[in-house]
Structure 1
Amino acid sequence: MSSDLNLHIAVIGSGGAAMAAALKAAERGARITLIERGTIGGTCVNTGCVPSKILIRAAHIAHLRAESPFDAGVSAQAPVVDRGRLVRQQQARVEALRDAKYEGILRDHPRITVLHGEARFTGSRSLSVRFANGGEQTVHFDKALIGTGARPAIPKVPGLADTPYLTSTSALVLEEIPDRMVVIGASVVAVELAQAFARLGSKVTILARSRLLSSEEPLVSDAIEVAFRREGIEVLRQTQASRVDYLDNEFVVETGAGILRADQLLVATGRTPNTDSLNLETIGVETRDARVITDDHMQTSVPGIYAAGDCTDQPRFVYVAAAGGSRAAVNMTGGDATLDLNAMPTVIFTDPQVATAGLTEAEAIKQGFTVDTRSLDLENVPRALANFDTHGFIKMVAEHGSGRLLGVQAVTGEAGELIQTAVMAIKTGMTVQTVGDELFPYLTMVEGLKLCAQSFTKDVSQLSCCAA
């Protein structure tokens, strides 16, 4: 606990990092002024994780009603999609969660004061907050946390700015499913939304500057591209838009692969930090490509000013943001906390899902490890066979000699549900031998981790169904 009960902390933002910091610092005895210029709750609950996963789930249900591996015995029929009703259902859940997890908590918290306005540093211990009505207030603080998040980045494509293109934010509340959609971008947000709209009825074309999910290892990219092509999603590799026009209610996209025409154009080419209005350069806070640079204690180059979440150089996941904000609060209130991301899990909510933890083979080799790897096709996983869905794989990266597990990459149904087991194995230094010797429940996808681990020393195709 903080020994200084009069410590005053300014928190800029109200998303995952900011809320975690505010609540943890208040718990440790500090007084908090939280400043938010937009909607309370940040990206995740309002325009990110929550609405996108609702959309993806609805699209998954629509897809199964139209087509499944059991169509020979269970009748299938393409559903009628009322996108307007889906949006209203989605936004009602968003509003309920925002009130329960953000607004309601702040409204009733005795140690947190909320100011609705735009913050700007005027010194290393002071902020100016400009309100929408034109008023202004100075806030003096002892410590500060920058948790301002990020917004969709827009590429400088000729003509694009003059068109009514979609970003991930506007796409999530689009009330009609377009007949044709072109997606510029091939990273996480792009592929998740592309598949969702395709499953709800759009003919989708993805423009990938290199390949799908280029930051993942090639096996992952290839597996998702195969899945997309199987569903009729067109993937154009090594393709960029050179010009965009909007003529007669139609997007015209010029590319090296020819001219594409679409009813909607989704631009999903990454995110840019919301740091431009904070006046960081004046007070000496170091940034790189607008991202705030922090040390392993979440402190910036200015002592007493901390940062966490999507506005920093940390990986852009809400659980990383919340963990960073919480640890920053501990450090601002006299503690000593760091953020260990060595076994950080990631999940991409395509179908099949992509989930990773630890190091890829290339990353491990780059770090100086000599490695052994195994990649297990899902034909060897009983749960996948029972589901009649064997598209994908599980790959393990182990240190040569010791067998210590260094990383896992999985492309499977519900991969996100199995990856935390891999995280725990990596964090505790388990070997593939010990993973292979553990008890795993039969006919679960996570059993694939055991089977992949066993494949380092035996031919798993020759095992009985639940052989140890």
Structure 2
Amino acid sequence: MVVGDVTTGTDVLIIGAGPAGYVAAIRAGQLDLDVTLVEKEAYGGACLNHGCIPSKALITATDVAHEARHAEEMGIHADPAIDLSGMVGWKDEVVSQLTGGVEKLCKANGVNLLEGTATFVDDHTVRVSHSGDGQGSETLEFEHAIVATGSRPISIPDFSFDDPPILNSRQALALESVPDSMAIVGGGYIGMELATVFTKLGTDVTVVEMLESILPGYDDDLKRPVKKRASDLGVDFQFGYTASEWYEPDGGVRLVAQPADDAAADGGTEGAEAVESERLELDVEKILIAVGREPVSDTLDLEAVGVETDERGFIETDSRARTNVDHVFAAGDVAGEPMLAHKGSMEGQVAAEVIAGEPAAIDSQAIPAVVFTDPEIATVGMTETEAEEAGFEPVVGQFPFRASGRALTTGESDGFVTIVADESEGYVLGASIVGPEASELIAELGLAIELGATLEDVASTVHAHPTLSESVMEAAENALGHAIHTLNR
């Protein structure tokens, strides 16, 4: 113990107040446990403050402006002026409302909130250092701990986020003026979402991706409408390059990228463009690095408590969110892929319930994944290939949004709903959607998988008309061979 420290105790120590940590804290409080939640920066974590919520706020705002500007076929003629500072201010108000709500909910459920940075001292003790001059630190003893420290943007050599032209996603979401031009290094979900935002704001955007396709891990048929829409909006793609350096000639910013030897590693080639043998040079105003995220596990002194990590820094857990140390749990991004806020919240809740002696476990049959591009992509469960590899004989149904009356009335009819089921029993195994409101529509199919519903169950459920959700019903009917509003396979 440090001389002058104050030592307190708690049943459950939770480090990190993101979607995994604050959910664990609230649930533990509901179960009458004494809970202390330590957060070094802002309640709600990266998701509420710098990721999920602010990015979706800006996506919505830029969509409004873009739709107004391109609604001539509906008889609407407008040219809205964009005030990015005002847009960011609105985004910040949304964030503030949500983070304030998290803090109030924690306090209402008896959670002790502690601001500072926690590091383990031994297997039942942490030291919490408070920021600011003269704030000092305190020692906290715990019976159980939940590590929920989340993730951070990955940096690449020679591209420091401390240099003004170089941005990570958090910094990009806080810009108060629209850059004239931007290079986005990385064509994954973060890069593609922000490419859409800034293009609609009027920025000339170039996406530089080392592979030969955007959105690695997603099937070509899902990526195709996204790539086409982005290209139509004006996004330029440079595939097969890795960023190597940048410099400032004559006051500007120049990105240099070299051909990538493993450009075809992803296996997808939809929309790929020829790769020149020489290096690529781009003159831009800003460079956004969006090559992924990494776990925040190196700041905790995990060795002191005996918790092990894998080679990437993720904390391995079992189906009850336990680490290799029985009384220490981990939840959220720090606990490994997929790094999704809703997956982290589920893990946090399970961890709290296990600590309270409840018979809880992570047994979800399917966790949805969403990319908030234009159009959106959403998946859940197995693909047709994965179903075959698992020993099923899959049957597939599909319904295009161009055959949906509701989609046509929104002016957004690109994409489709695909549903995968076991042919012999009819059980829904998976689904994928690309198109309007895919993020909302996927929930019905996730529920179908969790409940063990069949194609017949989905097809025989009366869906309101005219709605986008009818497309889910029609896809199920298509798999059964009796869809009404599209040709059956």
Aligned Cα root-mean-square deviation (Å): 2.3
SS at match of 1:79: coil
The residue that corresponds to 1:130 in the other structure is 129
**Alpha-carbon offset, residue 91 of structure 1:** 0.9
**Alpha-carbon offset, residue 457 of structure 1:** 3.8
How far apart, CA to CA, are the structure 2 residues paired with 1:396 and 1:460?
Answer: 13
Residues 405 and 426 of structure 1 are in contact (CA less than 8 Å); yes or no, is this contact kept in structure 2? yes
Q: How does 1:172-251 map to 2 (within 5 A)?
A: 172-210=173-211, 211-251=213-253
The residue that corresponds to 1:285 in the other structure is 307
The residue that corresponds to 1:21 in the other structure is 24
SS at match of 2:66: helix
SS at match of 1:311: helix
How far apart, CA to CA, are the structure 2 residues paired with 1:233 and 1:297?
Answer: 44
**Alpha-carbon offset, residue 163 of structure 1:** 6.1
How far apart, CA to CA, are the structure 1 residues paired with 2:435 and 2:223?
Answer: 13
**Alpha-carbon offset, residue 317 of structure 1:** 1.8
The residue that corresponds to 2:287 in the other structure is 265
Residues 159 and 243 of structure 1 are in contact (CA less than 8 Å); yes or no, is this contact kept in structure 2? no
1:38 maps onto 2:41 in alignment: yes
> Alignment partner for residue 51 of structure 1, among 51, 54, 74?
54
1:171 maps onto 2:172 in alignment: yes
Deviation string, structure 1 residues 359-388 (Cα, Å, up to 9, x no partner): 122322332323222333322222223334
Residues 121 and 128 of structure 1 are in contact (CA less than 8 Å); yes or no, is this contact kept in structure 2? yes
Query: Structure 1 counterpart of 2:112, which letter?
Result: T
Residues 181 and 205 of structure 2 are in contact (CA less than 8 Å); yes or no, is this contact kept in structure 1? yes
How far apart, CA to CA, are the structure 2 residues paired with 1:330 and 1:459?
Answer: 45
Say if 1:304 and 1:160 are closer, same or farther in 2 by CA, change over 3 A: closer
Q: How does 1:358-369 map to 2 (within 5 A)?
A: 358-369=381-392
How far apart, CA to CA, are the structure 1 residues paired with 2:296 and 2:473?
Answer: 43
Say if 1:395 and 1:123 are closer, same or farther in 2 by CA, change over 3 A: same
Alignment TM-score, normalising by the size of structure 1: 0.91
Q: How does 1:348-427 map to 2 (within 5 A)?
A: 348-427=371-450
Query: Structure 2 counterpart of 1:130, which letter?
Result: S
Residues 380 and 461 of structure 1 are in contact (CA less than 8 Å); yes or no, is this contact kept in structure 2? no
1:347 maps onto 2:347 in alignment: no
Deviation string, structure 1 residues 295-334 (Cα, Å, up to 9, x no partner): 0000100110001011111422222211211110011111
Residues 184 and 266 of structure 1 are in contact (CA less than 8 Å); yes or no, is this contact kept in structure 2? yes
Segments of structure 1 that go 5 or more residues without pairing to the other structure are 1-5
**Alpha-carbon offset, residue 340 of structure 1:** 2.7
The residue that corresponds to 1:64 in the other structure is 67
SS at match of 1:23: helix
Deviation string, structure 1 residues 412-443 (Cα, Å, up to 9, x no partner): 11111211111111122222233223211122
Deviation string, structure 1 residues 91-133 (Cα, Å, up to 9, x no partner): 122112211222x334x44733222221111111111112223
Q: In terms of mean alpha carbon deviation, does 360-369 or 447-456 score higher?
A: 360-369
1:316 maps onto 2:316 in alignment: no
1:431 maps onto 2:454 in alignment: yes
The residue that corresponds to 2:89 in the other structure is 88
Say if 1:291 and 1:246 are closer, same or farther in 2 by CA, change over 3 A: farther
SS at match of 1:114: strand
SS at match of 1:177: coil
Say if 1:41 and 1:236 are closer, same or farther in 2 by CA, change over 3 A: same
Say if 1:75 and 1:278 are closer, same or farther in 2 by CA, change over 3 A: same
Query: Structure 1 counterpart of 2:226, which letter?
Result: I
Query: Structure 2 counterpart of 1:207, which letter?
Result: V
Say if 1:124 and 1:159 are closer, same or farther in 2 by CA, change over 3 A: closer
Segments of structure 2 that go 5 or more residues without pairing to the other structure are 1-8, 260-275
Residues 159 and 244 of structure 1 are in contact (CA less than 8 Å); yes or no, is this contact kept in structure 2? no
Identity %: 30
Query: Structure 2 counterpart of 1:219, which letter?
Result: D
Residues 46 and 98 of structure 1 are in contact (CA less than 8 Å); yes or no, is this contact kept in structure 2? yes
How far apart, CA to CA, are the structure 2 residues paired with 1:343 and 1:14?
Answer: 25
How far apart, CA to CA, are the structure 2 residues paired with 1:325 and 1:462?
Answer: 43
The residue that corresponds to 2:265 in the other structure is none
Query: Structure 1 counterpart of 2:241, which letter?
Result: T
Say if 1:184 and 1:295 are closer, same or farther in 2 by CA, change over 3 A: same
Residues 420 and 429 of structure 2 are in contact (CA less than 8 Å); yes or no, is this contact kept in structure 1? yes
**Alpha-carbon offset, residue 293 of structure 1:** 0.8
Q: Say how many residue pairs are matched.
A: 456
Deviation string, structure 1 residues 4-29 (Cα, Å, up to 9, x no partner): xx961111111111111111112212
Residues 214 and 221 of structure 1 are in contact (CA less than 8 Å); yes or no, is this contact kept in structure 2? no
Query: Structure 2 counterpart of 1:125, which letter?
Result: H
Deviation string, structure 1 residues 386-431 (Cα, Å, up to 9, x no partner): 3343211211112232232111100011111211111111122222
